[in-house]
Structure 1
Amino acid sequence: MSLTYDLYVDQDGAEVLQESATEEQPLTFLYGAGQMLPRFEENLSALSTGDTYDFRLTAEDAYGIYDEEAVANLPLEMFNESGVPEIGTVIPLQDNNGNRFQGQVVSVTEDSVIVDLNHPMAGQELHFKGNILNVRPATPEELSHGHAHGADGHHAH
């Protein structure tokens, strides 16, 4: 599925454009492969090429409620090689089970870096508007790889 979208979030009572995908650079994804938010896909399931859409996802259906507890204190020694990150930087992290995730640096103290592990859009209702550019069956190669290869089913090199 290939589509354009504008994603709006509420900031101080006004809808602000957060990100977009254009006809020149559309979002192309393999439907049902788990790459997209499940509720996002549900809202697109009955649409065909040429259709437009306009829907909202609650925070619960998008990136979850903001969790005040999802903040980590990382020892400053962790950053001896890479250097202490600046506040606002998003850094890649990994837990003891090898799961990868990202955290945003919220403050730096004498001995630790404090990182917010919430998704940047946690706690926000998302408003999507856009057009369906192309709906086509996935190729066997795409199905085996678990992702789409562009509008015509081939890798762009």
Structure 2
Amino acid sequence: MSIKDGDTIKIDYTGKLDDGSVFDSSEKHGEPLEFTVGEGQVISGFEEAVRGMDEGDEKEFRIEPSEAYGEYNENLSQQVPKDAIQANMDIQEGMMILVRTPDGREMPAKVTRMGDEEITLDMNHPLAGKALNFNIKIVEA
């Protein structure tokens, strides 16, 4: 019976960027990915790809940024005063930190530049603006 919304499935997968580098895989996590189709637990392009497949099926597909983590948004990269960041943190360029938004939420940000008085934080998802290429196998449907 073909996979449809509401089905809970398990898949083995490998995700690669266009340059061939692996950004994620079920092997890395030591077990298949389990999710319920149609509940928004994975990116929309991924859900669309598994609909209609059957247990044991394998497939390769590409998800454009608009169906994955969105396009890169320059407005999500901002300079902030160094003293706005907790003083007890040893902040280094390239590291991920949690920042508190004005409404009290916390979100991850990558430190992209360290200046004398300011640091630049990028709050885009690390995969924003990137096409994602997957090879999947339905392990259980």
TM range (shorter): 0.7 to 0.9
> Aligned pair in 2 of structure 1 residues 114, 24: CA closer, same or farther (>3 Å)?
closer
Judge conservation of contact 1:39–1:62 (CA < 8 Å) in 2.
yes
Deviation at 1:30, TM superposition (A): 2.7
The aligned counterpart of 1:79 is 85
Give the direction of change, closer, same or farther, for the CA distance of 1:31–1:45 in structure 2 (3 Å limit): same
1:3 matched to 2:8? The reply is no
Q: Identity of paired residues, percent?
A: 27
Give secondary structure in 2 for the equivalent of 1:43: helix
Q: Could you tell me which residue of structure 1 aligns to residue 132 of structure 2? A: 126
Distance change >3 Å, CA 98–CA 134, structure 1 → 2: farther
Q: Distance in 1 between matches of 2:57 and 2:131?
A: 23
1:18 aligns with 2:27: no
Structure 1: which amino acid aligns with 2:120? Answer: I
Q: Secondary structure at the match of 2:31?
A: coil
Instruction: Report the alpha carbon displacement of residue 126 of structure 1 after superposing the two structures with TM.
Output: 0.5
Matching of residues 33-72 of structure 1 within 5 Å: 33-72=39-78
What is the aligned-residue RMSD (CA, Å)? Answer: 1.9
In structure 2, the partner of 1:92 is: 98
Quickly say closer, same or farther: Cα 1:33–1:82, change in 2 above 3 A: farther
- The whole-number CA distance in structure 2 between the counterparts of 1:133 and 1:74 is 46
Q: Any stretches of 5+ residues in structure 2 without a counterpart? A: 1-8
Q: CA deviation at 1:97?
A: 2.7
Structure 1 counterpart of 2:116, from 107, 110, 113: 110
Partner Cα separation in structure 2 for residue 79 and residue 21 of structure 1: 35
* 1-structure distance, mates of 2:104, 2:41: 19
* More moved, 78-87 vs 117-126: 78-87
Report if aligned partners of 1:3, 1:131 keep a CA contact under 8 Å in 2.
Answer: yes
> Where in structure 1 do 4 or more consecutive aligned residues deviate above 6 Å?
none
Which amino acid is 2:94 matched to? G
- Which residue of the partner structure matches residue 146 of structure 1? none
Q: Give the match's secondary structure for 1:86.
A: coil
After superposition, what is the alpha-carbon deviation per residue over 1:118-144, rounded to whole angstroms, capped at 9, x for unaligned?
111111111010111112xxxxxxxxx
Of 102-111 and 22-31, more deviation after overlay is shown by 22-31
SS in 2 for 1:124: coil
Cα distance, 1:24 vs. partner? 4.2
Query: Is the 1:51–1:132 contact (alpha carbons within 8 Å) kept by the matching residues of 2?
Result: yes
**Runs of at least 5 residues in structure 1 that lack an aligned partner in the other structure:** 136-157
The amino acid across from 1:112 in the alignment is E
